[in-house]
Amino acid sequence: MFSINVYDDQREMKQHGSYEFPAAVYHYVMSDCVMGFINWHWHEEIQLNLVTKGAVRFFADGQQLLVKEGDGFFINSGRLHMARPEGDPASSYLCLDFHPRLLSSFTGSVFEEKYVRPYLGKEGLSHLPLYNDVAAQSAVLKQLQEIDRLFRKADFGYELKIGSEILLLWLRLIRLTGEAQAAEPGHHHDTAQEIISFLRQHYQEDLSLDDVSRAVGFSASECCRLFKRVTGDTILNYLKSYRLTRSIEMLEETELPVSRIALESGFNGASYYIESFKKELHVTPLQYRREHRQA
pLDDT at 246: 92
For the cut 80, the answer to whether the pLDDT of residue 52 exceeds it is yes
Q: How far is CA 176 from the centre of its chain?
A: 22
DSSP state of 116: I
Q: Would you say 31 and 82 are in contact if contact means Cβ atoms under 8 Å apart?
A: no
Q: How many Cβ atoms are within 10 Å of 208's Cβ, its own excluded?
A: 11
What are residue 60's DSSP bridge partners?
63, 81
Single-letter amino acid, residue 151: F
Q: What is the pLDDT of residues 139-156, one digit of tens each?
A: 999 999 999 999 999 999
Q: Would you say 98 and 22 are in contact if contact means Cβ atoms under 8 Å apart?
A: yes
User: What is the pLDDT confidence band of residue 176, given thresholds at 50, 70 and 90?
Assistant: confident
159 vs 157: CA distance, rounded Å: 5
**Helix, strand, coil: what percent of the chain each, to 5?**
50, 20, 30
User: What is the pLDDT confidence band of residue 4, given thresholds at 50, 70 and 90?
Assistant: confident
Q: What is the pLDDT of residues 234-270, one digit of tens each?
A: 999 999 999 999 999 999 999 999 999 999 999 999 9
Residues of the chain with pLDDT > 70, as a percent, come to 94
User: What is the pLDDT confidence band of residue 291, given thresholds at 50, 70 and 90?
Assistant: confident
Q: Would you say 79 and 40 are in contact if contact means Cβ atoms under 8 Å apart?
A: no
pLDDT at 187: 60
Sign of CA pseudo-dihedral 23, 97, 190, 175: positive
60 vs 123: CA distance, rounded Å: 12
- CB-facing half-sphere around the CA of 239: CA atoms within 13 A: 21
Kindly list the structural domains of the chain, giving each domain's residue range(s) and its CATH number in brackets, ordered by start. 23-179 (2.60.120.280), 186-294 (1.10.10.60)
pLDDT at 180: 43
Inter-axis angle of helices 209-216 and 235-253, to 10 degrees? Answer: 100
Single-letter amino acid, residue 21: F
